[in-house]
Structure 1
Amino acid sequence: MRTHHWQKSSYSSAGNACLYVSVPDNATIRLRESDEPDTILTTTPHALDALIRSAKSGRLDHLGRA
Protein backbone atom coordinates (compact mmCIF):
# COMPACT_ATOMS: atom_id res chain seq x y z
CA MET A 1 0.00 0.00 0.00
CA ARG A 2 1.35 3.41 -0.96
CA THR A 3 1.84 5.94 1.83
CA HIS A 4 0.28 9.35 1.24
CA HIS A 5 1.41 12.61 2.79
CA TRP A 6 -1.70 13.91 4.55
CA GLN A 7 -2.05 17.55 5.56
CA LYS A 8 -4.62 18.62 8.15
CA SER A 9 -6.91 21.43 7.04
CA SER A 10 -6.17 24.75 8.71
CA TYR A 11 -9.93 25.07 9.35
CA SER A 12 -10.00 21.88 11.45
CA SER A 13 -10.09 22.26 15.21
CA ALA A 14 -8.07 20.26 17.71
CA GLY A 15 -10.95 17.78 18.14
CA ASN A 16 -11.83 14.69 16.13
CA ALA A 17 -13.72 16.32 13.24
CA CYS A 18 -10.68 17.04 11.09
CA LEU A 19 -10.32 17.04 7.32
CA TYR A 20 -7.07 15.79 5.78
CA VAL A 21 -5.89 16.40 2.20
CA SER A 22 -3.32 14.53 0.11
CA VAL A 23 -2.18 15.66 -3.34
CA PRO A 24 -0.08 12.86 -4.86
CA ASP A 25 0.06 14.51 -8.31
CA ASN A 26 -1.37 17.46 -10.26
CA ALA A 27 -4.44 15.51 -11.40
CA THR A 28 -5.58 13.95 -8.10
CA ILE A 29 -6.76 15.19 -4.72
CA ARG A 30 -7.57 12.80 -1.88
CA LEU A 31 -9.70 13.77 1.13
CA ARG A 32 -10.37 11.89 4.34
CA GLU A 33 -11.97 12.62 7.69
CA SER A 34 -10.24 11.85 10.98
CA ASP A 35 -13.25 9.82 12.18
CA GLU A 36 -13.08 7.51 9.12
CA PRO A 37 -9.42 7.51 7.98
CA ASP A 38 -9.83 4.40 5.80
CA THR A 39 -12.56 6.09 3.73
CA ILE A 40 -10.84 8.23 1.10
CA LEU A 41 -12.60 10.45 -1.44
CA THR A 42 -10.60 10.89 -4.65
CA THR A 43 -11.35 13.79 -6.99
CA THR A 44 -9.71 16.20 -9.41
CA PRO A 45 -8.71 19.81 -8.74
CA HIS A 46 -11.33 20.98 -11.25
CA ALA A 47 -14.17 18.98 -9.66
CA LEU A 48 -13.23 20.07 -6.13
CA ASP A 49 -13.05 23.70 -7.25
CA ALA A 50 -16.54 23.41 -8.79
CA LEU A 51 -17.92 21.89 -5.56
CA ILE A 52 -16.38 24.62 -3.39
CA ARG A 53 -17.64 27.40 -5.69
CA SER A 54 -21.15 25.89 -5.67
CA ALA A 55 -21.18 25.64 -1.88
CA LYS A 56 -19.90 29.21 -1.41
CA SER A 57 -22.48 30.61 -3.83
CA GLY A 58 -25.36 28.91 -2.00
CA ARG A 59 -26.35 26.62 -4.88
CA LEU A 60 -26.16 23.61 -2.55
CA ASP A 61 -28.11 25.10 0.37
CA HIS A 62 -31.24 23.14 -0.53
CA LEU A 63 -29.40 19.87 0.19
CA GLY A 64 -29.32 20.59 3.94
CA ARG A 65 -33.08 21.08 4.25
CA ALA A 66 -35.36 18.34 5.51
Structure 2
Amino acid sequence: MSTHDWQKSSYCQEGDACVHVAATAETVHLTESSDLTRAILSTHPDTFATLLRALKKNDD
Protein backbone atom coordinates (compact mmCIF):
# COMPACT_ATOMS: atom_id res chain seq x y z
CA MET A 1 0.00 0.00 0.00
CA SER A 2 1.01 3.64 -0.10
CA THR A 3 2.84 5.58 2.58
CA HIS A 4 -0.36 6.50 4.46
CA ASP A 5 -0.90 5.25 8.02
CA TRP A 6 -3.53 2.62 7.27
CA GLN A 7 -5.93 1.32 9.91
CA LYS A 8 -7.81 -1.95 9.40
CA SER A 9 -11.55 -1.96 10.03
CA SER A 10 -12.49 -3.27 13.47
CA TYR A 11 -15.19 -5.40 11.78
CA CYS A 12 -12.60 -7.35 9.79
CA GLN A 13 -12.01 -10.97 10.69
CA GLU A 14 -8.48 -12.33 10.35
CA GLY A 15 -7.81 -13.49 6.78
CA ASP A 16 -10.91 -11.90 5.24
CA ALA A 17 -10.98 -9.07 2.74
CA CYS A 18 -10.72 -5.94 4.87
CA VAL A 19 -11.41 -2.26 4.44
CA HIS A 20 -8.46 -0.06 5.37
CA VAL A 21 -8.72 3.65 6.16
CA ALA A 22 -6.05 6.36 6.28
CA ALA A 23 -7.03 9.90 7.22
CA THR A 24 -5.56 13.37 7.31
CA ALA A 25 -7.32 16.63 8.19
CA GLU A 26 -8.11 17.16 4.50
CA THR A 27 -8.71 13.67 3.09
CA VAL A 28 -9.91 10.19 4.01
CA HIS A 29 -8.46 7.33 1.93
CA LEU A 30 -10.16 3.92 1.67
CA THR A 31 -8.92 0.68 0.14
CA GLU A 32 -9.73 -3.02 0.36
CA SER A 33 -7.06 -5.63 1.02
CA SER A 34 -8.44 -8.08 -1.55
CA ASP A 35 -8.37 -5.50 -4.39
CA LEU A 36 -5.48 -6.60 -6.58
CA THR A 37 -5.41 -3.21 -8.35
CA ARG A 38 -4.64 -1.48 -5.01
CA ALA A 39 -7.20 1.21 -5.92
CA ILE A 40 -7.64 3.96 -3.34
CA LEU A 41 -10.84 5.95 -2.93
CA SER A 42 -10.25 9.41 -1.50
CA THR A 43 -12.94 11.68 -0.08
CA HIS A 44 -13.44 14.68 2.19
CA PRO A 45 -13.76 13.90 5.93
CA ASP A 46 -17.28 15.42 6.04
CA THR A 47 -18.41 13.11 3.24
CA PHE A 48 -16.92 10.10 5.01
CA ALA A 49 -18.67 11.10 8.25
CA THR A 50 -21.99 11.27 6.37
CA LEU A 51 -21.37 7.76 5.01
CA LEU A 52 -20.60 6.42 8.50
CA ARG A 53 -23.74 7.99 9.96
CA ALA A 54 -25.85 6.44 7.21
CA LEU A 55 -24.29 3.01 7.72
CA LYS A 56 -24.80 3.17 11.48
CA LYS A 57 -28.41 4.29 11.03
CA ASN A 58 -29.11 1.32 8.74
CA ASP A 59 -27.45 -1.04 11.25
CA ASP A 60 -30.15 -0.39 13.89
Shorter-normalised TM range: 0.7 to 0.9
C-alpha displacement of 1:55: 2.9
Identity over aligned pairs, percent: 41
Instruction: Tell me which residue corresponds to 2:34.
Output: 35
Matching of residues 19-58 of structure 1 within 5 Å:
19-23=19-23, 25-36=24-35, 38-58=38-58
Instruction: Tell me which residue corresponds to 2:14.
Output: 14
**Greater RCO, 1 or 2 (C-alpha within 8 Å, sep 6+):** 2
Q: Give the Cα–Cα distance (whole angstroms) in 1 for the partners of residues 50 and 43 of structure 2.
A: 11
Q: Which runs of 5+ in 2 are unaligned?
A: none
The count of residues paired between Structure 1 and Structure 2 equals 56
What's the RMSD between the two structures over aligned residues? 1.7
Secondary structure of residue in 1 paired with 2:3: coil
- TM-score scaled by length of structure 2: 0.75
Q: Which runs of 5+ in 1 are unaligned?
A: 59-66
Q: Give the Cα–Cα distance (whole angstroms) in 2 for the partners of residues 28 and 39 of structure 1.
A: 15
Q: Which has the larger radius of gyration?
A: 1
C-alpha displacement of 1:50: 1.0
